[in-house]
Structure formats: structure tokens, C-alpha cells
Structure 1
């Protein structure tokens, strides 16, 4: 069994690590200071725009997309360690390399399921970083952990679809450059197959009847870099029938195809966040004394750091195995492993971040260090892309099926 990365991955890792050290990490505080001076917190800070240009110049752009006609043409296994590196600065690094959710998933949907016109109109400007996008699936009035519950209606009226419904936590929708929504709703609410009732349509943001009502917070954070999370109302919004993605009734299958790679991306970024937390923990405890000796010599602190290192190494191996399986046997063949990483990674990283916050004391929950914001992001991923309990239920059923 070969655990080494291939030559292309190693070359990209080296370039990306250098880019992070030279540009991204120094920009974190600059971006924070610049944002405080903006007229609107949703505007892109100048340093981020500068880093986008630099990332493109260095060829560190659209690394996530496996289709080499559009992106870097990397496999999941090749991209996974790059996502980990970007996870060390999850607010800035994915954005400046055009590898940030929800745009990544939306670009994958358009590349895989969009027609020629849709790709020309929306995918190409997304790939170029000229516009941003949002994915509108989750709803406040139903248990969205079961995607068949969604109530948004997509009704055909001649050559148009009429969309009516309310969505929330729609990532990216607050960004001023967000130009297009991919909206999931029911075109056949009474159909006999509950997984064929849903469809996806493209809805331009400026469509009459589309209202972005408010920004939703996550533990008090608004996630400005990724365009926030909005509550959006569709009140008889009309779009051409040609804005349908794929076929009527194909929305559920498209959503599943979209979420598989996304979970790998999220999990590898989470591992990067954990690595950042371990580094911060170590730097803190070698520089602080308590009760007559450095924190680094306290037994409980040493246990926390050792446990964190073991946990990260375990997670990384599981995630890389999952990426390899997705490449070799497909998302369906790697279903159990995808669910396993979705369950294990967020909860483990949340625990590491929690202990890092504890070591920083009041500083850990402040805006002076990245830990609190990292914690908010990691804790959210125990809910996003399917709550842990849904994945546990499905994985357990799959395991038990072997014994019936």
C-alpha cells in the first residue's frame, strides 16, 4: 500500500503551501481591518481581490473541479490534501482560489448536468470568478434533514416555471456578486416516488419575486467572506422552462451527486482547521506559565495535544481512503465511507477546537484569535450536508443489512 502523494499533488502542495505562507496568512488580519472600513460588510475586501489575481497567476485556481475542460482535472485523492491546506485559513484560502462553497458544488452541478446554454451563461463566469452563486435547498418550516420534505413549489405555466417558497441558510446569497440561485423544489408533489418529486431550476437573483430578506448568523458570525447565509423568499418568481437543470424529477439525484464531493472537501478543510488548532495550542502552551511551570509541562495539556495528533492522523487516513474509493468505485461504491467521514470528522475537530479554545482562555472566545470562528464553522458542519444522525441512521442500516 503506497501512502505517498503522486508527483503532481506534491508539486501543487508545495506551491499552495508557499502561497499560504507568503500571501494568505499575512492577509488574515489585513482583511479584518479592511472589512471594518467598508461601507457594507458584504463587499469583497481589497486584499481578497488582490489574492484572487495572484492565485490565478500562480495556477492555483479552480483546483476542485475534476473535469480538466473546466478545472484542474484533479482526482478526489489529488485534491483532498490541497483542500486540507486551504482549511488552515477557511475564510480566505478557498475564496481566493475559487474553491469556496457553495460555488464549488454549483459549478460541479452545471458542469455535470447543465446544458450548453446554461454552462455558457452561468458556469463560465463562475469559473472565471466574475460572479458568485447560491444553492437554495434548506427550508425553515420543515425538517430539511429529510430532503423529501421540502415544500417549495415549482409549477409549470406554459413556457415558464413559477417558483413559490421560503428558504433559509442559503449560503452565498448575501454576496453582492451572487447572480444565480440553484433552487430545489417540487414539480410533482403528489408523485408516487418521493425521490422523483423534486427538480432543480436556475433562478437569477434579479428575478421579480425573489427577495433576500435577511442574513442568518451562525453563533453570531455572518460569514462575510463566503457571502453569508440568507433567508430568501420566492413569491411566484418566474423563469423560462429552459432553466431546468437536467430533467423534471431529477433534483434529488442531482443533490446527492452534488453533496458527495462536497463532503470530501468539507472534511479535508476540517482537518486543516484541526492542524491550525494544534499549531495554535502548541504555540500557546510553550509561551504561558501557570502554577509555577509552563503550560506545556502540565499533564492534561500534553494529553490533549497527543490525543489531537492521533485523532487527526486517523481522520486523514479515513478521508484519503474515501477519496480514493470515490475515484475508483464511484460515489455509490464509497457511500459507507462518505457517511463515515461526515460523522467522524466534524465532531472530532469540534473537540480539538474546544480544547484549543480552553487553552487560550478568554482569548479563545475572542475575535483576536481565529479559534472561535473556526469552532462555529466546524460545529455547523455537524448539521450541514445532512445532520450526523441522518448519516448514522443510514450507515447503521447498511451495516445491519449484512445480517438479515
Structure 2
């Protein structure tokens, strides 16, 4: 039986499949992706699963339930990474799912569903700038416009499919139908500090954040830095700075999350007053209603600040993803699993980060199990999880599968 120590060792083994010798980077439809799929397929086969790679490059394994062809309970996460990644974001959930399939062993034959494990090929969107490509394909929400997306080397997504040995014309075959699935359970590191602050190993997810992203442009007038007095200035950068601090002031007490991750100034000379400042805004909340209400407040505030300074303001929304509430009945099974692992009153958290469940939720119910990670650090080589937390997570996920079976039997 695969232990928590072995799960962590397998995560470390996956680190070898990296595009760089000194840091972890494994992106969609690359030789490193193929190598990771092959290694995961080997572990799946060792756990008694029938394996295949789907038409979008996702790696699957399946063991039948009490009868062949039953709908499947899907366990898994993703195998791709951000640049200079840690060892556990995504990969831990895949390896834990395989371990749980092995632990269930012959008991799977008594389940009222098949058990499947998936390693999605692209969640992060690192290579082509579009996240959730693997799970969107599985959910049947593929957009043909994505074929023209290109990576930093100019390779299009269409060409990358071909180079990987996939046929773009058949990507629709990766889509799962609602009647094929019972639900989707994902174990994942929290990527936040709340479980550690509470000194608990595990928590359950109430919802996955709904996000909106914007490019905000503050428009002023570029003039000589020495010759223009303050009362004549229309400094776009100062206006943008005031907008950014206002965003934090309004959002911080609200329960939403807002991040300005990039700012660019034109013309960008040391002796020229900035005439234009463009910054990005990523806005997230547990519900779309909370997120959208906060954006309305921000929109009014930013316009008022710019008007007071004689500046223009332009806003372009370039991304919107709805929040994904976790299904109560599946979440109850996860809570029961955490209780069986030793915590009778587990913490519920909304996930500030996005996950494959956001896409999979279009075709079936989803729920998530969170594991404590050191200092909440993620998307960084310092990602760290404790062996005891993985051990409890394995117990919880195994029991959750059995709890799902009880609920399916009662339907």
C-alpha cells in the first residue's frame, strides 16, 4: 500500500521531468508533459487501473465498480506547473488519488460506480496564457478560438497538439458527458495560511473563487519634469498609484481579494511626467455577487479619483470566470472523510486560487479537500507539506470515496 512517504517521494520523482536542470517547469504538450504522463500511467497500472491518454493530453486510469460501464467518481488534479514551481501544487492531488485507488483495492468492485483518476495536462496556463485547457477539454467547453494561441516561441496550440502526437480535429473526444460521471473530488494544498494558523492538517472547500481581470489605463499628459509646475501636471502614474492604494483600502475589509500584478508607464523617461499608466487588476471572491458588487464600488471610486486629478480612465475586462460552489452532498462526504481522519469539526474555506474543478463543474458536481502547506507558500520552490498531513489526507480521501458510495446507494 502506498504510504504518505511514498506519495511525497513520487512528487519528488515528478520533479525530474522539468524543462530546466535547476528549477521545476513542466508545461502543456512538451516532452516533460509526456514523460510525466508516462510515469503517472505506470503508477496507475501498478494500482490496478486501466490507463489511457485522452485526445487533449490528459492522463487517465480507471477501475470498474460492481458492474462494467458504470458512471465514474473522478479523482485527480493537474500535472503541469508554473515557472520555478514547487513540488506539490497539482501533482500531490494526482499522486494521492492513485494511492487511494490502490488502498481501496478489491473493494472498488463493490462500489456503485467506477473509480477514475485523472492528471490534467494544463491547469496553470503557463505556456499558452489560457488556464484550464486540460479540464476544459474534459468538460466539453473547448473554444476553437484557442487553436491560434501561441507560446513564447510562436508555436500555436494547434501545432503543439500535432507535435505531441494529438489530432486537433479529435479534441472533442476528450469531453466527458454528465451521465458518465458521479462527481469529481480533488485533493490540493491550500495555497494559503489558514489551516496552518489553525494548526490543523485538513479542511474542506466551500467554493472556488470567481475571478475577473481588468487592464486599467490612467490617461494624463506627458510633459517636461522640470518645467511643469504641480498645478499644471496631469501625472498618470501618481493617479494610478492613488487608484491602487484605493483598491486595497476598499477591498481589504470586504472578504474579496484584489491584486495589481503589473504596471507599465509611458513614455517611461526619468525626466518626463508620465502621460499614461496601465495596470492589471485581478479581483476574486467566493461568490460572483460579492465580486461584482465590489467591482461596482471600485469602478466608481477610480473614476472619481481620476476626475479629481483631471485624468482620464479606461477599463478593459479581459477575463471572467464564474465562482464554482462545491456540491453540498459531495462536500458532506469530504467532511465525513476528514472526521474519520481525526478532525470532527473541520474548517471550511473558499479557495482564493483557481482549480480544475472550476471547469469540471460544467459537467458534474465537484468538491475539494485542502491540505495544510507551510506558511501558505505556493507557486514557489519553497512549497512544503508535512508527511502527517498527507497521511491524514489519504485517510480522508479514501473515506470520502466510501462516503460518496453510501450516498449514491441512497439515491
Of Structure 1 and Structure 2, the greater helix share is in 1
Q: Normalised by the size of structure 2, how large is the TM-score?
A: 0.28
Comparing both structures, which one devotes a greater share of its residues to strand?
2
